[in-house]
Structure formats: C-alpha cells, structure tokens
C-alpha cells in the first residue's frame, strides 16, 4: 500500500518512541513534515485501553496528535497495526471522528489465495491462506517433528562453527 501511494510521506514510529512524540524536538520534525502519515506497527502497547495498562498510557499522546490543535495544524494521520481484539483498543481512539477505518486481515478465500499464488508463478492449492503465509509461501516453516529437530540442531551446529 505504501509503495503505491506516493502523495504523502510515511514515517515509521517504533511504539517505544510514542511517548516522545510530543517532545519539542519531534514536534519540530513534524512541523517540517506536515500532512504525513505516521505508521506504528505492533501498536498493542500504545493503543490498548488504559484500564489494562500498569504504566502511564500514551493514548493521550496519540489523541493530542490526532484531535485538537496539533491535528488541525499538522494534519497528521496515524496507521496502527495490532494483533489484539478491537475491544481492547482504548474507547477514546474509537470515538466518532477519530478512527476512520478498521480492517481485520483474515485468511483469503481459496479463490483469492490461488489468484495471488498464480500471479507469482505457484501452483494452486486447496485451502484458504493468510497473507503472511502467501508472502512466505516458499519459505521453510517451523515444524515440531523429530526430523526437523535433528535438522535444526545441524543448522545450529554449523552456524556456531562458522560464527563463533
């Protein structure tokens, strides 16, 4: 999606730095990058409802950037990816006018799976697949069989031999 849309600047923010978004140095950076889109991957820690968090929440930081004076002047949008149930997301972020879209990536239908696989030169299969599995179709996956454990031990031994 990002590579296809070049009308805006995309800025990746690690969720550990969200608390620093209102730091004057970062605000200065944002002033130079108005109308950008911030992307926070694996944002569970920063968007989860405040009642589940033991440390101080950074939900208010996100709200300040997306709602109010900062939002009006900077016109920043934020994309968050997360692997938790939408019910765990702080309700303030879900209020009308704040979140403009929510998309849950589920496995693609057999038809869509095969269409994507065929476009990359793979044979058809008879099951639904998640995008992560399709994008890594030719990669070796983790298996817990005895044979794979032997193979894994050989890989580790060889790695240690050449990198120790």
Please report, in tens digits, the pLDDT of each residue of the chain (164 residues total).
677 788 888 999 887 787 788 788 888 898 899 999 999 988 888 888 777 555 556 788 788 788 777 778 888 888 898 988 889 899 988 888 888 888 888 899 999 999 999 998 999 899 999 988 888 888 766 555 555 555 566 667 666 766 65
- Do the Cβ atoms of 59 and 90 come closer than 8 Å? yes
Q: Which domains does the chain have, with CATH numbers?
A: 10-94 (3.40.50.300), 110-163 (no CATH)
Measured CA to CA, the distance from residue 39 to residue 77 in angstroms comes to: 9
Residue 151 to residues 93, 144, 146, Cα–Cα distance (Å): 47, 11, 9
- Do the Cβ atoms of 10 and 37 come closer than 8 Å? yes
Q: What is the pTM of this model?
A: 0.69
Cα first-last separation, the chain: 40
């Amino acid at each position: 999606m990002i590579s296809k849309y070049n009308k805006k600047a995309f800025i990746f923010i690690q969720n550990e730095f969200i608390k620093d978004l209102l730091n004057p140095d970062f605000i200065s950076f944002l002033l130079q990058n108005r109308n950008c889109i911030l992307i926070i991957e694996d944002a569970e820690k920063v968007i989860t409802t405040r009642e589940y968090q033991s440390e101080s929440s950074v939900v208010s930081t996100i709200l300040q950037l997306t709602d109010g004076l900062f939002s009006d002047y900077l016109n920043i949008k934020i994309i968050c990816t997360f692997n938790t149930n939408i019910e765990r997301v702080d309700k303030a972020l879900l209020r009308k006018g704040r979140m403009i879209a929510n998309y849950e990536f589920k496995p693609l239908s057999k038809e869509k799976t095969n269409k994507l696989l065929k476009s990359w030169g793979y044979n058809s299969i008879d099951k639904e697949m998640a995008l992560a599995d399709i994008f890594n179709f030719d990669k070796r996956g983790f298996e817990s069989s005895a044979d794979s454990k032997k193979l894994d031990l050989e890989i580790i031994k060889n790695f240690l031999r050449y990198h120790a």
